[in-house]
């Protein structure tokens, strides 16, 4: 054993890992033998700072310049509260609908083979690729009272366009891919033997679904929900066309920020933007925690 | 024998699956119902809007369709959109390769924080992405007076549009390239190094060919978003017709003027871009399956 505990410090360490004779050893660093560490680190940090961190920091600096009174007046005005309420509830409703239908779509795409499956699979990604303004005018044209869908709904006195339901519809569209694409890989990895075991133990198909499959799908569906929800909260392009933008009724938070900006109320826009930004960072933290939890379960 | 009914093949094809798998499978009824729900959902909420874009665009026939696309304002918007994507996509491409090389190849303190920060623009509302540049570089912004003094116009001008677009599309290439870079490993690069290749030779002759499909997909996604971004660009553009109007903003202006056929005609161009993006995605996936990557360890 004495020979092993030599300068290289361990039995045949992998290249690029600390302990290898070729590894540059500094505390916490393992930069291996490949060149470019300094260049890629410098470039990445500089570009990240220039494009993302400094502009976001500017928002923080600007909001630090607000007095508490200014801040509260903007953030807690009745119009702002109505906008938070609408945005939050519409995103919640869209997220819940996306979880229900997203799980069904993922299940059908993974488990069944039917003609046109590839087309439907491609359709799932379309909301990611379609510019939001296009989605907005297309949905409005469809769901307005004279549209292809809207005219049928108008007969039973349901009006989607220019109402809170329209806000939710647009959020449903932009958030549609998230649940499907987070549930799909988990479903693909699900061992059929688990279902077979449940069947041999006397479980009915319904029991297997409720007690074996759904519990596995719930965590990824929750991640997908959080992603779709976060996307819905920030969504602007598709909603401004379909919502009608009436203050207190169908005005979403991002629109309120734009309105304040157009009225040169920079303080108000900054304050509300800060509230939204903190909400999305909170969600991001939640999503990352969920993902880490899922990865740990997956690694087991 | 002609005209005779074909004899029905009565041999039952044995189910290759073990009996238990069949026991666990969904009934034909469940399968049909679920498939109908899924396809109906996608049809109603995704396919129908696409169909309606083209129907509305061609509402007055092909002549007015091309007229709407050929107006000077539409052409100016198209040019600005191409310019914006032409600057911001290469910038984010270079960043994406540098960042994923850094994160996949080296270990250093703060690595996971850096990975999170790269995703940051994804969780920022497009409106706020535009707002931060107005607050930083606008006339009343932090650097506004200094820019004014030197007669540099960024906000409500083309540079602002490019900056906001670059912010919004910032993570796209890095996000797609990083997992590929981690998966392919660094064995070939290390071999090239021992054979005397320089760093740039390794990058262009070994690494980029290895990650090309991931890179291509990242660029396609980044481009789709760059050309289609609305919220952020809307905040910084100032809406000057023929000057600071991108295609999505032009759609909005035409729509608000109740010029529906023209609005949908311009929107149909963006829809074609989205469909091409999906086509490219399918192509890249097929390629990746055709030539499986050498797995690193």
Which ipTM score applies to this complex?
0.85
By the CB < 8 Å criterion, does B126 face chain A? yes
**pLDDT of A212 higher than 80:** yes
Look at residues B166, B159, B158 and name the one whose alpha carbon lies nearest to residue B94: B166
B257 CB neighbours in chain A (<8 A) are none
Q: Which domain holds residue B273?
A: 62-290
pLDDT score of A297: 66
Is residue B222 included in any domain, yes or no? yes
User: DSSP character for B26?
Assistant: P
pLDDT score of A290: 80
Q: Which two tokens stand for residue A147?
A: 């549209």
pLDDT score of A298: 59
Is residue A245 included in any domain, yes or no? yes
Q: Which among A15, A43, A280 is the nearest to B98, CB-wise?
A: A43
Is residue A4 included in any domain, yes or no? no
Compute the nearest-CA separation of B86 from chain A (Å).
Answer: 17
Counting residues of chain A whose pLDDT is more than 90, the rounded percentage is 53
By the CB < 8 Å criterion, does B157 face chain A? no
The residues in A 103-122 lying below 8 A from B, measured between CB atoms, are 104-105, 107-109, 111-112, 114, 116, 118, 120, 122
CA distance B86 to B222: 11
Q: Which among A122, A142, A258 is the nearest to B127, CB-wise?
A: A258
Is residue A111 included in any domain, yes or no? yes
CA distance A93 to A100: 11
pLDDT score of B14: 52
Is residue A5 included in any domain, yes or no? no
Q: DSSP letter string over A32-92?
A: -S-S-HHHHHHHHHHHHIIIIIHHHHHHHHHHHTS-HHHHHHHHTSHHHHHHHHHHHHHHH
Asked whether residue A188 falls in the same domain as residue A204, the answer is: yes
- Band of pLDDT at residue A13, cut at 50, 70 and 90: very low
- Band of pLDDT at residue A65, cut at 50, 70 and 90: confident
pLDDT score of A14: 47
Asked whether residue A75 falls in the same domain as residue A39, the answer is: no
In chain A, which residue's Cα lies nearest the Cα of B198? A35
Q: Which among A55, A133, A288 is the nearest to B230, CB-wise?
A: A133
Least confident of A35-49, A183-197, A219-233, B278-292: B278-292
Domain count, chain B: 1
Q: Do B186 and A130 touch (CB under 8 A)?
A: no
Asked whether residue A160 falls in the same domain as residue A17, the answer is: no
Asked whether residue A51 falls in the same domain as residue A114, the answer is: no
CA distance A278 to B43: 36
pLDDT score of A210: 84
By the CB < 8 Å criterion, does A58 face chain B? yes
Asked whether residue A21 falls in the same domain as residue A139, the answer is: no
pLDDT score of B218: 93
Asked whether residue A171 falls in the same domain as residue A291, the answer is: yes
- Band of pLDDT at residue A273, cut at 50, 70 and 90: very high
- The answer to whether A114 touches B37, Cβ cutoff 8 Å, is no
**pLDDT of A102 higher than 60:** yes
Compute the nearest-CA separation of A68 from chain B (Å).
Answer: 19
B166: Cβ contacts below 8 Å, ≥ 6 apart: A51, B87, B88, B91, B92
Is residue B247 included in any domain, yes or no? yes
Instruction: Please report, for the domain that includes residue A232, its CATH number.
Output: 1.10.3720.10
Is residue A76 included in any domain, yes or no? yes
- The answer to whether B269 touches B247, Cβ cutoff 8 Å, is yes
In chain B, which residue's Cα lies nearest the Cα of A52? B167
Q: Which two tokens stand for residue B119?
A: 């995703």
- Band of pLDDT at residue A2, cut at 50, 70 and 90: very low
pLDDT score of A205: 82
Asked whether residue A145 falls in the same domain as residue A169, the answer is: yes
Domain count, chain A: 2
Is residue A3 included in any domain, yes or no? no
Measured between alpha carbons, how far is residue B293 from residues A34, A185, B179, B287, B290 in Å? 21, 19, 12, 10, 9
CA distance A113 to A110: 8
pLDDT score of A42: 94
Asked whether residue A115 falls in the same domain as residue A28, the answer is: no
By the CB < 8 Å criterion, does B240 face chain A? no
Q: Which domain holds residue A36?
A: 12-64
pTM of the predicted protein model: 0.86
pLDDT score of A80: 94
Asked whether residue A50 falls in the same domain as residue A154, the answer is: no
pLDDT tens for A182-203 read 999 999 888 888 888 888 888 8
- The answer to whether A79 touches A255, Cβ cutoff 8 Å, is no
Higher pLDDT, A220 or B241: A220
CA distance B221 to B281: 9
**pLDDT of A11 higher than 50:** no
Q: What three-state secondary structure class fits B54? A: helix
Is residue A1 included in any domain, yes or no? no
Q: Do B267 and A208 touch (CB under 8 A)?
A: no
Is residue B140 included in any domain, yes or no? yes
Which residue stretches of B43-125 are H helix? 48-57, 62-70, 72-105, 111-119
Is residue B296 included in any domain, yes or no? no
In chain A, which residue's Cα lies nearest the Cα of B162? A51
Q: Do B99 and A33 touch (CB under 8 A)?
A: no
pLDDT score of B4: 40
Instruction: Please report, for the domain that includes residue B78, its CATH number.
Output: 1.10.3720.10
pLDDT score of A30: 79
pLDDT score of B54: 95
Mean pLDDT of each 10-residue bin along chain B, 297 residues long: 42 49 67 94 95 92 90 93 96 96 92 90 93 90 88 90 96 93 90 91 92 92 95 87 86 92 94 93 82 49
Q: Do A235 and B267 touch (CB under 8 A)?
A: no
The residues in B 57-86 lying below 8 A from A, measured between CB atoms, are none
Token pair 């032409």 in the structure block, residue: B86
A196 CB neighbours in chain B (<8 A) are 18, 20-21, 23-24
Q: Do B135 and A131 touch (CB under 8 A)?
A: no
Look at residues B183, B204, B219 and name the one whose alpha carbon lies nearest to residue B90: B219
pLDDT score of A189: 87
């Amino acid at each position: 054993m004495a020979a092993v505990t030599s300068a290289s410090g361990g039995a045949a360490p992998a290249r690029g890992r600390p302990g290898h004779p070729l590894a540059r050893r500094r505390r916490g660093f393992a930069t291996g033998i490949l060149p470019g560490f300094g260049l890629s680190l410098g470039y990445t940090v500089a570009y990240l700072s220039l494009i993302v961190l400094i502009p976001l920091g500017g928002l923080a600096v600007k909001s630090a310049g607000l007095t508490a009174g200014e801040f509260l007046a903007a953030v807690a005005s009745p119009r702002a509260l109505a906008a938070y309420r609408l945005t939050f509830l519409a995103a919640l409703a869209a997220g819940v609908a996306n979880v229900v239908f997203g799980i069904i779509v993922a299940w059908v795409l993974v488990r069944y083979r039917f003609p046109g499956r590839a087309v439907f699979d491609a359709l799932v990604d379309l909301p990611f690729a379609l510019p939001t303004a296009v989605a907005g005018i297309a949905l409005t044209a469809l769901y307005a009272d004279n549209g292809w869908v809207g005219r049928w709904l108008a007969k039973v006195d349901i009006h989607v366009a220019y109402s809170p339901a329209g806000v939710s519809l647009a959020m449903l569209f932009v958030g549609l891919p998230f649940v499907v694409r987070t549930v799909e890989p988990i479903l693909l990895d699900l061992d059929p033997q688990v279902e077979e075991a449940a069947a041999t133990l006397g479980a009915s198909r319904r029991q297997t679904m409720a007690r074996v499959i759904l519990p596995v799908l719930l965590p990824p569906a929750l991640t997908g929900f959080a992603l779709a929800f976060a996307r819905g909260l920030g969504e602007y392009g598709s909603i401004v066309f379909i919502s009608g933008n009436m203050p207190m009724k169908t005005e979403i938070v991002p629109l309120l920020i734009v309105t304040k900006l157009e009225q040169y109320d920079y303080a108000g826009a900054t304050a509300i933007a800060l509230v939204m930004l903190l909400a999305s960072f909170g969600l991001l933290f939640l999503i990352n925690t969920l993902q880490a939890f899922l990865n740990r379960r997956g690694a087991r | 024998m002609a005209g005779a009914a074909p004899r029905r093949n009565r041999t039952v094809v044995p189910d290759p699956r073990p009996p238990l798998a069949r026991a666990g499978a969904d009934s034909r009824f469940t399968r049909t119902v679920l498939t109908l729900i899924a396809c109906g959902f996608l049809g109603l909420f995704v396919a129908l809007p696409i169909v309606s874009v083209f129907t509305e665009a061609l509402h007055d026939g092909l002549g007015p369709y091309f007229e709407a696309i050929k107006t000077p304002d539409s052409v100016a918007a198209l040019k600005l959109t191409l310019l914006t994507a032409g600057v911001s996509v290469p910038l984010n491409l270079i960043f994406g390769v540098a960042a994923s090389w850094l994160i996949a190849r080296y270990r250093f303190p703060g690595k996971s924080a850096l990975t999170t920060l790269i995703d940051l623009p994804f969780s920022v509302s497009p409106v706020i992405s535009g707002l931060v540049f107005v607050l930083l570089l606008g006339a009343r912004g932090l650097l506004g007076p200094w820019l004014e003094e030197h007669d540099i116009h960024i906000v409500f001008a083309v540079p602002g549009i490019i900056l906001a677009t670059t912010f919004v599309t910032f993570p796209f290439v890095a996000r797609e390239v990083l997992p590929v870079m981690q998966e392919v490993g660094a064995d070939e690069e290390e071999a090239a190094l021992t054979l005397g290749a320089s760093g740039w030779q390794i990058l262009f002759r070994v690494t980029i060919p290895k990650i090309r499909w991931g890179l291509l997909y990242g660029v396609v996604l980044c481009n789709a978003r760059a050309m289609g971004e609305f919220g952020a660009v809307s905040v910084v553009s100032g809406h000057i017709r023929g000057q600071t109007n991108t295609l999505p903003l032009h759609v909005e202006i035409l729509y608000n003027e109740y010029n529906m056929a023209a609005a949908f005609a311009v929107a149909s161009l963006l829809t074609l871009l989205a469909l091409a993006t999906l086509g490219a995605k399918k192509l890249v996936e097929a390629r990746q399956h055709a030539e499986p990557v050498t797995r690193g360890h």
